[in-house]
Amino acid sequence: MQTAIDDSGDLLQLAAGAFDGERDPWANAANAAALIFQLLPDLNWAGFYFMRGGELVVGPFQGRVACVRIAVGSGVCGTAAERRATVIVPDVHRFPGHITCDAASSSEVVVPLVSGDRLIGVLDLDSARLDRFTAADARLLESLAEKIVAACDWRLAGIDGF
Ligand code: SME
């Protein structure tokens, strides 16, 4: 069985391979969500919300049907977007304003996607396990977020400000 560290190394390497020569945001986000869901253990949702028309709108993901629109400042996603900083939530039931998409979710991590002074969206992972996400996971996902921000031409996706 692979260790979590090996899986995380694979994640960045495989993402770089998937993004290579491809600038389309939907294509790269779809493959990134699939890789995350496939390689990181104990997830029940992994995907993106993008800034479109002044709010976060769901993008490519793996998992159960999700809420489509989230206001900046609302829930874990909107909080990470507003702060432009990663938010780790060990127990979503203790996070004021948490938005429930899948009742099985117990913990969550949200990483913003930022290019210069522009907020592109967020990368959101949920787990049915309490306290699933570590600082090391957050750093890994921040590296992945940097890679996807650099890999895509965001003008192709109708993202606010592009
Ligand atoms: N729980 C999130 C909503 C998105 S779903 O988890 C996919 C939140 O509180 O923003």
Write down all domains in the chain, each with its CATH number in brackets: 4-156 (3.30.450.40)
Q: What percent of the chain lies above the pLDDT cut of 90?
A: 93
Task: Quote the ligand 1 centre to 55 CA distance (angstroms).
Answer: 14
Task: Quote the ligand 1 centre to 1 CA distance (angstroms).
Answer: 30
Looking at this protein, which amino acid is placed at residue 48? Answer: F
User: Could you give the angle at the alpha carbon of 90 between the alpha carbons of 84 and 94, nearest 5°?
Assistant: 90
76 lines ligand 1 (CB under 6 A): yes
User: Above 90 in pLDDT, residue 148?
Assistant: yes
Q: What percent of the chain lies above the pLDDT cut of 70?
A: 94
What angle, rounded to 10 degrees, do the helices at 4-19 and 135-151 form? 10
Task: Quote the ligand 1 centre to 119 CA distance (angstroms).
Answer: 18
95-130: pLDDT as tens digits? 999 999 989 999 999 999 999 999 999 999 999 999
What is the band of 146 on the pLDDT scale with cuts at 50, 70, 90?
very high
- Regarding predicted confidence, which is higher, 52 or 5? 52
pLDDT for residue 3: 44
Look at ligand 1, atom 5, and give the residue with the nearest C-alpha: 101
108 lines ligand 1 (CB under 6 A): yes
Asked if 40 and 109 touch (Cβ cutoff 8 Å), the reply is no
User: Above 90 in pLDDT, residue 15?
Assistant: yes
